A and B are shown apart, each in its own frame.
Chain A
Amino acid sequence: MRFSYSEWRGWTKATGPSLWRTAGLKTSRSAAVLVVDDDAIVAEMYRIALVRGGYDVLVARDGPAALQLAAASAPAIIFLDIRMPHMDGVEVLQRLAADAALSQIPVVMLSNYDDNNLIDRCLNLGAKEYLVKVNLNPNDLATVASRWITPIE
């Protein structure tokens, strides 16, 4: 069975980075986190958790949007889903790694796939961690982020 989301371009009407928002800056650590997930409910859940952890949060709903946001906003870390329409997370990861500027941003994969080959592939492509969503407490995302973000002070 074919399962390549990158071929699904034909389905889209709007492909621009229309689906992102910044969080309210309550306890901001002045670091922006980019959450990439096509599932609005999941993305919102992670956004809430990270905002509570003190981060500014950007959300992208697909790969092209994620690449544009990453280039425009230089987030301190990217949480990247794998199964997405238009361009899957692995391809986004490859493109980030191929770009001199963007390759500096730490990437943590978030997916419900737990295939070892896929995990190895992502780590080999430069992902810092690979977290299986179903086992992840959203409240821990802030800790994960702090592990990889270089302090600004």
Chain B
Amino acid sequence: MHNFCGMVAQGSVESSDAVLARLLAAADAGGVRHVARLLDSAAFSVAVFERDTEIRVAYVNRAASAQAAIGGESAIGLPVSEVFPQVNASFIEQLLAAPGDQATPMNRRGMLPGGAAWSIDAIRLGPDRLMVLAEELGEAVSSRQRLESLLASMNAIWRPIDFSSMPSQIVEQAGRLLTDVDVVVCAMTSEEPRDLRVVASNTDGLTSANAMVSEDSLAGRAAMSGEPIEINLPSDMIVLTPETQPEGIHSARAVPFTVAGQIADGRTSLGVMVLVKHGAAPFTDAERRLVDEFARLAALALHRAELLRDARSSARRLQLTLDLAMAFASSLSAREVVQLLLNRTLDAVEADRATLSTLEGDEIVIEATYARAGELRWVGRRYPLDFLDRQPLVKRALETRQPVVGGRLDVDGAAPEFREALSMIANTANLPLMLHGEPGGLLVVSRTGETPFTAGDVSILELMGNAAMLALRNARLFEDLELASAAKTQFLNMAAHELRTPITVIRGYTSMLREGGMSDRAETDNALDVIAQKAAELAKLVDALLQSARVQSHSEGAERTEFDIVECAAEAVARARPFSDLAGGTLTALLPPGPVHALGNPEHTSRILDNLINNAIAYRSGEPHVEVRVDAGPDYVAIDVQDNGRGIPESEHAAVFDEFVRIDGGEDESVPGSGLGLYIGRRLAQSMGGELILVRSAPGEGSVFRLRLDRPGADRPV
């Protein structure tokens, strides 16, 4: 108080407004400002007097106004005798005339001339200016002493910023302000905003550490309502807990820690301070105002410490996220990314289980789940999106693209092997993970304990999850690239092998012919025939390889024109007829009478049909009977090529469209070919927006291949 008033007294103070303005300006945010306001609401009278021609009133606080004939604003500027008839102006004159340094407050105690017993403190603010603090005697503590101790207490609790030590500081300082009380501090923390718990106490009798305080207790009611409550004991109302109800006659006052504005998590207060006064004497008004004021200061300090602690914890989590992002950046494996995310997520928000899913079109793929208790488990299961109808929390997160914090998941909606684990979950955070502005995945994090996820938890999960999503996409792109590169290498290896086979024979026979020693003319002729045949095969193979390379690099789509599929099919049948006749088979075309238009490339279509019909005849089993049919649907045309040949077992159906895959069974005469025909055919069909499929085939039952193309006007993307 000395420093405080000394500060005020320095310089010339013009008016009471300026005194207050200076008080406010000099005060730093929150604390001292609050003390300045005390002047106005103080329990004791505060007045500032100025002397010009006579002594006038420059300021009165509320308590002084109550003592005055004319109170409040109206008193300003009036002579002291009009405002305070009971005060002798010469008494003020005497105080002003008293010797002493300007910067030093004076203290006078005694009887006012009116006869009542008052304690008077006077602070000289300047040569002609005086602040008087007056209080009726009978109060236990003088106003000045009280103001001093309040300021000291405030300094004590304001200085430390360590949240964990704050409650015990509050208890200690409250015990210093009122020496004859037991003090208990309970808090509702941001981790558990719904629970009021005992966090500090200067007595063992009233409570046990960390005890949960019920809502209908004195402490609970004050904390929830945000207003101080006082009761006289014995009472039906429980002070803190039923087990620790004080015995005997006491007064108990509970003062909540409230701050202006809203507290995070919707708490009405940060906690409550409970004071139980020793002995039968009740709390005086002054004591009540003192503890209430102290509680308000304590609330500010508590709030500040809590914010600071949260900020520190946010910084820690931000560091975790940065570390994770760095780890992601150095990882090119999708599995590693998933593993890192789930693992670090559990640590960062102290969760018990985390599950990552990705979205692929209309499907949700549950990638992996990681439980603290167990190991990371790869799920890799696909569900249609409406699978989420059973999990409203997750669904809402996806639909609103906002994190949804909630309680349990629907256990029955989960796969059976997860039901037991899900049934233990008490709290969840469901986050949509965004990729380029669209939801690309879902992160569901859960706790078995009752602690709900906070806004801070969610923000850290969002940071981690979205970083993971990007890393996952990158890793998958890289893996695709690796696969594509490996496939290309494999293609080159196979192409080399295929090309070398005819060259082997050509070079081999050429060497043998050059070095002489073919035993006879027939052997020589045969060698030359083989060389010619292999050279022709080689030329065909090179063509096929070039075509294959071409369809690979132009897979995005060919120019589509309208053309008559019937004409195209008829020409292909005509081209194949000599081969069919040579094989002693039949080749039938079942075609509509008029033209049927299709969308695509007629040359590509011809090439595909030639290959299909050629295969149908070549891979024969006995006399080949081949049928070519054109069917037209509402938005497509289909050309079927059916044969009665060797057929393909179902296990190989998918492989026949791969590169270099050839039917080469135990037949005595193997069919020449590149193993690229169907591969090229399928790619060509796809480039036209159509498809080439194996409709049915089985060993001994022949095969049906179908080329499907769009009809003009059909609204299908290429």
Contacts and interface: CB of A to CB of B under 8 A. Distances in A.
B368 to A, nearest CB: 27
Interface string B630-670: 00000000000000001001011001001111011111101
Contacts of B530: 41, 45
Interface stretch (A11-19, A69-77, A93-101, A120-128): A11-19
Given A13-B666, A42-B501, A85-B664, A2 B511 contact: no
8 contacts: A3-B660, A7-B651, A8-B652, A12-B666, A38-B670, A40-B670, A115-B493, A139-B515
Interface in A1-37: 1-3, 7-8, 10-15, 19
Nearest to A14: B666
Interface in A91-118: 112-115
A49 interface: yes
Interface string B453-473: 000000000000000000000
A11 B666 contact: yes
B490 A45 contact: no
A1 B659 contact: yes
A136 B510 CA distance: 12
A42 to B, nearest CB: 6
Given A137-B512, A139-B512, 13 more contacts: A1-B487, A2-B658, A12-B665, A13-B667, A38-B664, A40-B670, A41-B534, A85-B664, A112-B497, A137-B507, A137-B508, A138-B508, A139-B517
A48 B512 contact: yes
Interface in B511-559: 511-512, 515, 517, 519, 523, 530, 534
A8 B652 CA distance: 9
A10 to B, nearest CB: 4
Nearest to B515: A139
B515 A45 contact: no
Nearest to B652: A10
B655 A45 contact: no
A138 B501 contact: no
A142 to B, nearest CB: 11
Given A10-B652, A11-B663, A11-B664, A1 B505 contact: no
Contacts of B496: 112, 114
B504 A10 contact: no
B503 A134 contact: yes
Contacts of A13: 665-667
A38 B664 CA distance: 10
Nearest to B498: A112
A114 B499 CA distance: 13
A85 B449 CA distance: 61
B699 interface: yes
Q: How large is the interface on A (under 10, 10 to 19, 20 to 34, 35 or more residues)?
A: 35 or more
Contacts of B649: 10-11
B500 interface: yes
B509 interface: yes
A143 B660 CA distance: 34
Contact of B490 (A1, A8, A139): A1
A134 B652 contact: no
Interface residues of B, number: 39
Contacts of B699: 10
Interface in B647-701: 649, 651-652, 655, 658-661, 663-668, 670, 699
B507 A134 contact: yes
Given A11-B666, A13-B666, A13-B667, A136 B504 contact: yes
A143 to B, nearest CB: 13
A10 B651 contact: yes
Nearest to B511: A137
B449 to A, nearest CB: 50
Contact of B508 (A3, A40, A45): A45
Looking at B494, B504, B670, the one whose CB has the most chain A CB atoms below 10 A away is B504
Interface of B is mostly: helix
Nearest to A16: B666
A137 B510 CA distance: 9
Nearest to A2: B655
Contacts of B487: 1
A132 B503 CA distance: 12
B511 A134 contact: no
Contacts of A41: 505, 530, 534
Contacts of B534: 41
Among B508, B651, B667, max chain A CB count under 10 A is at B508
A19 B666 CA distance: 10
Contacts of B517: 52, 139
Given A41-B534, A45-B508, A48-B512, A134 B500 contact: yes
A11 B501 CA distance: 22
B47 to A, nearest CB: 98
Contacts of A10: 649, 651-652, 699
Contacts of A39: 501
Nearest to A132: B500
B500 A112 contact: yes
Contacts of B665: 8, 11-13, 85
Nearest to B493: A115
A50 to B, nearest CB: 11
A134 B512 contact: no
A114 B503 CA distance: 15
A8 B505 CA distance: 25
B5 to A, nearest CB: 91
Contacts of B646: 11
A114 B500 CA distance: 11
A138 B655 contact: no
B508 to A, nearest CB: 4
A120 B627 CA distance: 50
Contacts of B666: 11-15, 85
B525 to A, nearest CB: 13
A14 B669 CA distance: 12
Given A11-B665, A85-B665, A42 B504 contact: yes
A115 B497 CA distance: 10
Contacts of A136: 504, 508
Contacts of B660: 1, 3
A19 to B, nearest CB: 8
Nearest to A85: B664
A133 B506 CA distance: 11
Contacts of B493: 113, 115
A2 B505 CA distance: 27
B536 to A, nearest CB: 13
A136 B668 CA distance: 26
A132 to B, nearest CB: 8
Nearest to A141: B508
Interface string A37-80: 01111100110110010000000000000000000000000000
Nearest to B533: A41
A46 to B, nearest CB: 8
Best-buried of A13, A14, A136 by chain B (most CB within 10 Å): A13
A137 B512 CA distance: 8
B497 A45 contact: no
B504 A134 contact: yes
- A2, A7, A8, A52 pick with most chain B CB within 10 angstroms: A8
A83 B494 CA distance: 11
Contacts of B661: 1, 3
A10 B651 CA distance: 9
Nearest to A45: B508
